[in-house]
Amino acid sequence: LMIIDGSSLLFRAFFALPPLKSALGTPTNAVYGFLTMLIKLYEEINPDYIAVAFDKGRQTFRTEMYSEYKGNRPDAPEDLRPQFSLIQDVLKALGI
């Protein structure tokens, strides 16, 4: 079983690649980078199963207990935001 921190991998992919957009103007660089890294990990590890988990949002039990938890982090860049739902759609289509 390979479990991937989807939010972390998507952020990493976004900042690692130059801006890319679809023909409709949708940002896609993070999705492209995410899938490239996912394929590489799959080939290296060859797991029987893959699970990808994403952060749910800013409000969690941790922020309820400690309001300053990750409080200094900026919001996700505008071009990254739509790619979260896009990568989740792609992963669902892949059966992940």
pLDDT tens-digit readout, 8-37: 999 999 999 999 999 999 999 999 999 999
pLDDT at 94: 97
pLDDT tens digits along 38-67: 999 999 999 999 999 998 766 666 667 766
Q: Model pTM?
A: 0.85
Per DSSP, the three-state class of 34 is: helix
Distance of CA 27 to the CA centre of its chain: 13
Alpha carbons 44 and 46: distance in angstroms, whole number: 6
Which CATH number applies to 2-93: 3.90.650.10, 1.20.1260.10, 3.30.70.2740, 3.40.50.1010? 3.40.50.1010
Domain residue ranges of the chain, discontinuous segments joined by +: 2-93
Nearest-5° Cα angle at 54, 75 to 78: 30
Per-residue confidence at 4, pLDDT binned at 50, 70, 90? very high
| Between 21 and 76, residue with greater pLDDT | 21
Output Rg (C-alpha) for the chain, integer angstroms: 15
pLDDT tens digits along 81-95: 999 999 999 999 999
The b-or-e profile of 44-79 (16+ CB within 10 A means b, else e) is: eeeeeebebebeeeeeeeeeeeeeeeeeeeeeeeeb
pLDDT at 70: 62
**% of the chain exceeding 70 in pLDDT:** 83
43: left (phi over 0), alpha (psi -120 to 50) or beta: alpha
